[in-house]
Structure 1
């Protein structure tokens, strides 16, 4: 992980470092169940000691609830009035930004298996460290929205390719040369690349894109997609080319091949012979303090002392000996995590819901547990308490949008349909949803 300096604490722990409604480490945002403190992790990675620090403060100054987010971060829920007491141990553990103003801009997504994936084209960690350092150390980048995000894809088999990013880069080979294709305001799975640069110019490209965006965007154009409504992507790329030290390389509409699904659940071989990683899913992305503490102990005993949180709201334990996989899996299950892709609950995601969010129209967490108990086969389902879709940055195969307590409209993903997809049924109970989904799966898989 990149070295991080401890920033000076703001005058008031409750004062936002910069205008934003997003939680941060130094900006705790109120919710119905208390404050939310979001801890951004470099590439999703956290050491055992850092994980223990999060568990300790969540237990001591919150309600012990820790969420894995869909961008590979952690957030502590139920934070009480002792903001400074919660934040200072996290800063001391190296979980803070280099400066207080740079906390918001540390938005760089990597594959959870970066560096260890058997099929990677590029170990993205060296470039990621350079990008993260520049994001934190360039004062002007604090002008970026807290939601402005970059993805660096090394060609791993395990990769979230459906989350939209303001800038995404994917490792490719062009005529024997290692390159990085890139796109704007989209994702590698659905949007063709605009051009490419040699791998050595990856950092230069990212810096040029961010600087050009800030030069062109008005204050109300917080995201790349907003700017591209006025400045077409090809025009942006033409202006970008003027700022680079090397010519852009045409890619003839190259598009990333989709990765295999569910590789974040279970045991899989790494690039290094005799080593494996294990992916485990906390129910609906939620851990308690004892669960996170137990994970920290497991990777200290069996692994390299690090954990990697994933965009699937799960966790990866890397660099384990293959002969220890069964013992580690059993201990993970004892902690309450799921390591079997056949478990329906492992594929369900749900927002906070009405139990802790004023906008939630249904108790999505409880309804998801009920749905999981009734499904007969695994299916990726997203339960959203309102139209904001906080729990999922991508469109799930099935989305349940709450309309009232215990009642949902059901959407099925469709390539030609924006938003959640095609509205299939309205105002369904969870029992009706489970019956309909089981019938739909049988009709798609049985002759």
Structure 2
């Protein structure tokens, strides 16, 4: 009998930087069963693959699928047949060529990469080269499963606040497109350390990864750990690459994005549609509906976003209203002004032993209390780790006990969640406070 894809794939060698993060091959236990994370190349999910995920979630798990804040998917409630689940996902093309390459496929793109009218370049070719480099270089499999890279091509629809170990961001200088870069920060406010021509982007990524692995101890799993001992300028000096570091580059700042990720989105040609499952949780019916619309009225693909949402690209101009109606009927949110679209929450006490409250259910209850003047983004976290968001939300409700929270406002003047504005409050009290304009909360 010929080997199946599962049998052919090699088990990874023990990493000097082990991780408890779920992956395709590493299904991590939680209160509600196993968690299997499917890392998508630049967030891309084909319609056939979406249907395969839905079928696998029903057959091997509890049918709950989560959109993650780095543009991936994870299946919750996985039962005992781990091998059956992994093989089903590999058969759909949702796994790496080798098991050892699964952890390192952490590359974030805009969900409109290659389509956004504001882009300075099409990020997809370079992104493909970076992913091939990460997957195909055994030495890079030593990286932590959290080690992450971002490639920002200047799109309007872009998450700029998630910290990355390495980020690259496109800019125009003297009529040429360059890639500015930073370490252990984010494009929104991270220090620009230099720039290289786009043609040297892959060499820059390779150089940064090699230098990190040369210098970092096993305990230094992330770039920020290493930079505590090796200053950023010294790290860059040792790359051995021709890096531009004049005032035009070092004084450059990435302009913020002022665009909603839900509803109709402009493309360079045509239209895209952003939709989101409530609280980032997709039912299998939602995922199948999105796959059907993508196949019949789009280009047959879905793009997962870092806002725990989906983007359908290249929609038929005459059919986007029908597409919107179909997806809304399936339970997906299509309007960023919906209160629930502005609230995120971690898994909560039913799925995580560390959570002190049922944050998902509390988020739904809170949404019913919010009015149009509420802050643009509120996150409910079951514990201090706040692992469901990669950046600090404008407002954080940190659980103290079932149904009771501390309320924080993000401020650049204070680290962590920001300024503490109320302690041990109920959801009704939180709703009353958040119904006020944000400037009143900050008094």
What TM-score bracket applies, with the shorter chain setting the length? over 0.9
2:86 corresponding residue in structure 1 = 87
Q: How far has the Cα of 1:289 moved from its partner? A: 1.0
2:316 corresponding residue in structure 1 = 321
Counterparts of 2:57 and 2:8, CA distance in 1? 19
Q: How far has the Cα of 1:9 moved from its partner? A: 5.7
1:365 corresponding residue in structure 2 = 360
1:179 corresponding residue in structure 2 = 178
- Helix, strand or coil: the match of 2:171? strand
Counterparts of 1:281 and 1:9, CA distance in 2? 36
Moved more, 152-161 or 338-347: 338-347
Cα distance per residue 1:147-171 (max 9 Å; x no partner): 0000000000000000000000000
1:276 corresponding residue in structure 2 = 271
Q: 1:299 aligns with which of 272, 294, 298?
A: 294
Counterparts of 1:71 and 1:333, CA distance in 2? 24
- Give TM-score scaled by structure 2 length: 0.95
Q: Tell whether the 8 Å contact from 2:43 to 2:108 is kept in structure 1 after alignment.
A: yes
Counterparts of 1:384 and 1:7, CA distance in 2? 36
1:107 corresponding residue in structure 2 = 106
Q: Tell whether the 8 Å contact from 1:192 to 1:254 is kept in structure 2 after alignment.
A: no
Q: How far has the Cα of 1:8 moved from its partner? A: 4.3
Structure 2 stretches lacking a partner, 5+ long: none
Counterparts of 1:374 and 1:139, CA distance in 2? 51
Q: Tell whether the 8 Å contact from 1:7 to 1:98 is kept in structure 2 after alignment.
A: no
Q: How far has the Cα of 1:192 moved from its partner? A: 2.8
Give the number of aligned pairs. Answer: 433
Matched, 1:266 2:272: no
Q: Are residues 247 and 368 of structure 1, via their aligned partners in 2, closer, same or farther at CA, if it must alter by over 3 Å?
A: closer
Cα distance per residue 1:251-298 (max 9 Å; x no partner): 133221110142x100022101xx100000100000111111111111
Matched, 1:255 2:257: no
Map residues 6-405 of structure 1 onto 2, 5 A cutoff: 8=7, 18=15, 19-240=18-239, 242=240, 244=241, 246-250=242-246, 251-262=249-260, 264-272=261-269, 275-377=270-372, 379-405=376-402
Cα distance per residue 1:335-393 (max 9 Å; x no partner): 10011111010111100010110000000000000000110125310000001111100
Q: Tell whether the 8 Å contact from 1:6 to 1:97 is kept in structure 2 after alignment.
A: no
2:410 corresponding residue in structure 1 = 413
Counterparts of 2:64 and 2:363, CA distance in 1? 18
- Helix, strand or coil: the match of 1:439? coil
Q: Tell whether the 8 Å contact from 2:9 to 2:98 is kept in structure 1 after alignment.
A: no
Counterparts of 1:342 and 1:137, CA distance in 2? 43
1:422 corresponding residue in structure 2 = 419
Q: Tell whether the 8 Å contact from 1:8 to 1:99 is kept in structure 2 after alignment.
A: no
- Helix, strand or coil: the match of 2:56? helix
CA RMSD of aligned residues (A): 1.7
Q: Are residues 133 and 56 of structure 1, via their aligned partners in 2, closer, same or farther at CA, if it must alter by over 3 Å?
A: same
Counterparts of 1:239 and 1:343, CA distance in 2? 49
- Give TM-score scaled by structure 1 length: 0.94
Structure 1 stretches lacking a partner, 5+ long: none
Q: How far has the Cα of 1:249 moved from its partner? A: 3.9
Counterparts of 1:255 and 1:362, CA distance in 2? 39
Counterparts of 1:154 and 1:268, CA distance in 2? 17
Q: Are residues 133 and 362 of structure 1, via their aligned partners in 2, closer, same or farther at CA, if it must alter by over 3 Å?
A: same
- Helix, strand or coil: the match of 2:285? helix
Counterparts of 1:190 and 1:11, CA distance in 2? 40
Counterparts of 1:238 and 1:261, CA distance in 2? 37
Moved more, 286-295 or 222-231: 286-295
